[in-house]
Amino acid sequence: MTETTWLWLDRIGIVWADLMLLATFAGGIVAVFKRGRIRDWWRRNRFPDIGRDLGQDERWPAFLLNVSKPDLPKWLIENQQPAAIALLATEQSRETADDIKAFAEKHGAEVLGPYDIDDPDDPSESHALAATLLDRLRQKGHARIAVDVTGGKVPMSIGAFMAAEEAGCDSIYISADFDRELKKPKPQTTRIRCISCPNTD
Cα–Cα dist 148/195, whole Å: 9
195 binds its own copies (CB under 8 A): yes
127 binds its own copies (CB under 8 A): yes
Cα–Cα dist 103/90, whole Å: 19
The correct pick among 129, 159, 170, 185 for binding its own copies (CB under 8 A) is 159
Cα–Cα dist 109/9, whole Å: 70
The correct pick among 113, 155, 170, 185 for binding its own copies (CB under 8 A) is 155
Query: Which burial class, exposed, middle or buried, applies to 110 when counting CB atoms under 10 A from its CB (0-12, 13-18, 19+)?
Result: middle
Could you tell me whether strands 84-89 and 110-116 are parallel, antiparallel, or unpaired per DSSP bridges? parallel
Cα–Cα dist 126/115, whole Å: 10
- The DSSP secondary structure of 174-193, one letter per residue, reads EE--EETTTTEE-GGG-EEE
In the complex with its own copies, which residue's Cβ is closer, 60 or 125? 125
123 binds its own copies (CB under 8 A): yes
106 binds its own copies (CB under 8 A): no
In the complex with its own copies, which residue's Cβ is closer, 109 or 163? 163
189 binds its own copies (CB under 8 A): no
Site mask for its own copies (CB under 8 A), range 33-72, x = bound: -------xx-xxxxx--xxx--------------------
List residues near its own copies by CB under 8 A. Answer: 10, 13, 40-41, 43-47, 50-52, 121-125, 127, 149-150, 154-155, 157-159, 161-162, 165-168, 171, 173, 175, 193, 195-196, 198
